[in-house]
Amino acid sequence: MRLEWRGREIEIRELGQGPALLLIHGYPLDGAMWSAVSRRLSDRFRVLKPDLPGRPDNPAWPDGSIESYADFIQSVAAAAGEPFGLVGFSMGGYVALALMKRRPAAVRALALVDTRAVADDESVRAKREEAIAILRQRGVEPIAESMLPKLLASASIARRDLADRVRRIILRQRAETLISDLQAMRDRPDLTAFLSEISVPTLVVVGGDDVITPPAESEEMARAIPSGRLVTIPGAGHLTPMENPIAVEQALGDFFGSALGGAIS
């Protein structure tokens, strides 16, 4: 699917047929992080996995705010047709919550994958600033090396093909794009109180060994959402959709199959 946004033509990768399911990637990645999951989901759903601004399939300039990323996802959703299922991973979860807050009627069901609602505290904001400085001075490569042990569980890092693929995805991003991501995450609002207002079926997914958004936080988030429920992926770190795509697809497929009516293949 092609979309014109802010004067640029954007390519939206799309697979399958059925109820629309929109997958939002995280930092410092792009829509390719969903490849294995989306292939499996495409047997039951029309899956869209856009790149957020500044990435290979989206040349629009990123402007450093979660709300602007939500503007883009809202445009994708409008072109795809409403209502739809929405999935946000990590930073993509922040975008998904921003979209839920502004257009709750557009979303029929929501999945929050390895993400959180709380805003950055001062220590995390300081780390964002450090990463921004590194990107400006040294580029993307040191970010790729420092992020791998945070994104992947130790057993996943030992899978060289997986670690190399994650590294390649990170290294093809521009420093300016990742700076925009970091600014957007640093400045996002706290949406913890908003969780109690979410009225659609909601699935929270977390890796059992996630060190960025630990399982205890995901448990609290699921409890705060009236219709929330939690699925933990054992042995996975933060990047569950790439570490264990079969388990993540099964969790998402079962959930959205019920919520959206996707037929089981």
Q: Is residue 244 part of a domain?
A: yes
Beta carbons of 259 and 201 less than 8 angstroms apart? yes
Q: Tell me the pairing of strands 84-89 and 202-207.
A: unpaired
Cis peptide before 50 (omega within 30 of 0): no
Q: Is residue 45 part of a domain?
A: yes
Q: Is residue 177 part of a domain?
A: yes
**Domain count of the fold of the chain:** 1
Assigned token pair, 98: 């921003």
pLDDT over 70 at 262, yes or no: no
**What confidence tier does 261 reach under pLDDT thresholds 50, 70, 90?**
confident
Q: What is the pLDDT of residue 73?
A: 96
Q: What is the pLDDT of residue 7?
A: 86
Q: Is residue 153 part of a domain?
A: yes
Q: Tell me the pairing of strands 2-5 and 8-11.
A: antiparallel
Q: Is residue 155 part of a domain?
A: yes
The domain that contains 239 carries what CATH number?
A: 3.40.50.1820
Q: Is residue 200 part of a domain?
A: yes
Q: Is residue 265 part of a domain?
A: no
Q: Is residue 166 part of a domain?
A: yes
| Alpha-carbon distances of 72 from 13, 124, 211, rounded to whole Å | 14, 26, 29
The predicted-structure confidence for 18-48, as pLDDT tens digits, reads as follows 999 999 999 999 999 999 999 999 999 999 9
Q: What is the pLDDT of residue 263?
A: 44
Structural domain containing residue 85: 2-260
Closest C-alpha among 73, 39, 47 to residue 58: 73
